[in-house]
C-alpha cells in the first residue's frame, strides 16, 4: 500500500503541469465549498410562507449540497486522471468546469425566480444571488488557466497509448474506443448513480411512497458500471447485453422521475439541467458500449484488463519481449519525455517489423 501511495504521489507531483492542474482543482473546490456553505446556511433563513415555500427551500438546500458533491467528485476525477496519466480524463475534468458553471448559472436563475415572489426574505435571497453570481464568475475565470494546463497535460500523456499498444492503427483505434468507454463509466457515477440517489432523497423529503424505485435503480446502475468493465475485459456479449438493458432502464426511470419532480408552469431548472445531461451521457454510454462490443474478438483483449480487486495480469505484448501490465493503474510511469519515448517506440516497432519479416533458418 505504501508503494502504491508513493507511486501515485510521484505521478501527481511529477512536474509543474500536474501540480498546477491539481492546484487549480483544489482552489476551485475551496472557493466553491466556502461560498456554497454560506449559501446553504442562508437558504434556511429565507423564511418561506406556507407549505409550498417550505418544500422549495428544502429543494434548494439539496441543490446546494449536490453542487458540493459534484465539486468533490470532480476533484476525485482530477486526481484519478493524474494517477493514471490519462489524457482523456484530464480533458474531461477540464470540460466539467463548464458543468460547474452551469450548476451555478441555474442556481442564479432559481434565486432570481424566487425573488420575483413575496413568499421569502428578500435580503437573504439577494445575498445568495450575489454569492451565486460570484461563484459562477470565479469558475468561469478558472476555466481559462485550466484549459491551458489541460492542453499541456494532454500532449504529455498522449504518447501513452502508442507506448502501450504500438503503432498498429486498428488496435490504436479500438483501444481509444475502450478508453473513452472506461472514462464515460467513471462519469456515469455522478450522472446515473448519484442522480438516482438525488431522486430518492427528494422522494423521502416529499413523502413519496415510490421513492424506493430510484434507490433500487441506483444500485442497478452501480452494478452495471462494474459489469461493463468486466464485459469489455472478458469480451462477454451476455454481460454487455445486460449492461445495455440496465442503461435503457435508467433512461426510462430518469425520464419518469424528471416528469414527477418538474412542474412546467414553474420549471425546476436544476432538475432539467441535471436530468437532461444524464440522458445525454447515457446515450454516449450506449453508443460506446455498442462500439466496444462490435470490436470483441478482433485482437484487443490482450491489451485490456480490469479486475475488481486490482489483480494484475501480465502478458507478453506483440511488439516487445517485456511483460506489459494491462490496466492503466498497473503501468509504471517513469517520467518519460516525448522525445525519448518516441525513440523507444520507433526502436520497438523496428524490432517488431524485423521479427515479422525474418525467415527461420
Residue 64 lies in domain: 15-158
For residue 350, being part of any structural domain is answered with no
Residue at 10 is within a domain: no
Residues 73 and 105 both lie in one domain: yes
The residue from 102, 130, 158 where one domain ends is 158
Asked if 71 and 106 sit in the same domain, the reply is yes
Enter the DSSP assignment of 303.
Answer: G
- Boundary (domain end) residue, out of 120, 138, 158: 158
Domain count, the chain: 2
Cα–Cα dist 214/203, whole Å: 9
Question: Do 127 and 178 belong to one domain?
Answer: no
Structure confidence at residue 348 as a pLDDT band (50, 70, 90): low
**Whether residue 134 sits in one domain with residue 25:** yes
Whether residue 185 sits in one domain with residue 107: no
Q: Is residue 361 part of a domain?
A: no
Q: Are residues 50 and 134 in the same domain?
A: yes
Each residue's pLDDT tens digit, 82-132: 998 888 889 999 899 988 998 899 888 888 887 777 666 678 888 989 999
Q: Is 185 inside any structural domain?
A: yes
| pTM of the shown model | 0.76
Which domain CATH number covers 83?
A: 1.20.120
- The reported pLDDT for the residue numbered 347 is 54
Let me know if residue 9 belongs to a domain: no
Q: Are residues 241 and 316 in the same domain?
A: yes
Same domain, 205 and 75: no
The mean-pLDDT minimum among 165-169, 239-243, 317-321 falls in 317-321
308 or 188: which carries more pLDDT confidence?
Answer: 188
User: How far from the centroid of its chain's Cα atoms is residue 269's Cα?
Assistant: 22
Confidence of residue 176 (pLDDT cuts 50, 70, 90): confident
Inter-axis angle of helices 169-188 and 87-115, to 10 degrees?
Answer: 30
C-alpha grid cell, residue 263: 412542474
Q: Do 202 and 295 share a domain, yes or no?
A: yes
Sign for the CA dihedral angle at 311, 335, 86, 322 comes to negative
- Does some domain include residue 343? no
- The packing angle between helices 87-115 and 16-43, to 10°, is 20
Q: Name the DSSP class of 316.
A: E
Angle between helix axes 169-188 and 212-234 (nearest 10 degrees) is 160
**DSSP character at residue 240:** H
Give the closest residue to 328 by CA, choosing from 185, 191, 190. Answer: 185
Separation of alpha carbons 235 and 173, rounded Å? 17
Residues 124 and 235 in one domain: no
Are 128 and 189 found together in one domain?
no
Is residue 136 located within the same domain as residue 184? no
Q: Is residue 164 part of a domain?
A: no
* 7 domain-assigned: no
Measured at the CA of 28, the angle between CA 22 and CA 29, to 5 degrees, comes to 90
For the record, the C-alpha cell of 283 comes out as 446515450
**Grid cell for residue 113:** 425566480
Determine the Cα–Cα distance for residues 195 and 37; give it in Å rounded to an integer. 21
Please report how many Cα atoms fall inside a 13 Å half-sphere around the Cα of residue 9, on the Cβ side.
Answer: 6
Question: How confident is the prediction for the chain on average, in pLDDT?
Answer: 79
Amino acid at each position: 500500500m505504501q508503494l502504491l501511495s508513493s507511486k501515485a504521489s510521484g505521478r501527481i507531483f511529477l512536474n509543474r503541469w500536474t501540480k498546477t492542474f491539481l492546484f487549480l482543482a483544489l482552489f476551485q473546490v475551496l472557493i466553491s465549498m466556502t461560498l456554497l456553505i454560506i449559501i446553504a446556511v442562508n437558504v434556511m433563513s429565507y423564511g418561506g410562507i406556507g407549505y409550498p415555500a417550505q418544500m422549495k427551500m428544502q429543494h434548494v438546500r439539496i441543490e446546494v449540497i449536490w453542487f458540493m458533491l459534484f465539486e468533490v467528485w470532480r476533484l476525485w476525477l482530477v486526481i484519478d486522471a493524474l494517477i493514471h496519466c490519462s489524457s482523456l480524463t484530464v480533458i474531461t475534468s477540464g470540460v466539467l468546469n463548464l458543468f460547474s458553471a452551469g450548476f451555478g448559472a441555474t442556481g442564479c436563475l432559481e434565486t432570481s425566480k424566487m425573488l420575483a415572489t413575496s413568499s421569502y426574505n428578500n435580503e437573504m435571497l439577494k445575498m445568495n444571488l450575489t454569492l451565486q453570481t460570484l461563484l459562477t464568475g470565479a469558475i468561469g475565470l478558472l476555466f481559462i488557466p485550466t484549459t491551458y494546463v489541460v492542453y499541456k497535460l494532454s500532449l504529455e500523456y498522449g504518447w501513452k497509448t502508442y507506448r502501450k499498444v504500438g503503432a498498429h492503427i486498428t488496435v490504436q483505434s479500438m483501444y481509444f474506443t475502450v478508453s473513452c468507454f472506461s472514462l464515460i463509466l467513471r462519469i456515469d457515477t455522478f450522472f446515473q448513480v448519484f442522480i438516482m440517489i438525488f431522486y430518492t432523497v427528494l422522494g423521502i423529503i416529499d413523502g413519496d411512497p415510490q421513492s424506493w424505485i430510484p434507490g433500487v435503480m441506483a444500485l442497478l446502475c452501480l452494478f452495471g458500471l462494474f459489469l461493463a468493465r468486466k464485459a469489455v475485459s472478458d469480451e462477454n456479449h451476455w454481460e454487455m447485453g445486460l449492461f445495455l438493458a440496465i442503461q435503457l432502464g435508467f433512461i426510462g426511470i430518469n425520464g419518469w422521475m424528471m416528469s414527477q419532480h418538474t412542474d412546467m408552469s414553474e420549471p425546476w431548472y436544476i432538475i432539467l439541467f441535471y436530468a437532461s445531461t444524464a440522458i445525454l451521457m447515457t446515450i454516449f454510454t450506449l453508443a460506446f458500449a455498442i462500439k466496444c462490443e462490435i470490436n470483441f474478438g478482433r485482437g484487443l483483449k490482450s491489451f485490456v484488463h480490469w479486475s475488481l480487486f486490482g489483480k494484475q495480469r501480465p502478458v507478453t505484448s506483440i511488439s516487445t519481449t517485456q511483460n506489459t501490465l494491462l490496466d492503466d493503474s498497473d503501468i509504471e510511469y517513469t517520467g518519460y519525455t516525448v522525445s525519448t519515448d518516441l525513440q523507444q517506440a520507433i526502436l520497438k516497432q523496428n524490432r517488431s517489423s524485423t521479427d515479422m519479416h525474418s525467415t527461420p533458418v
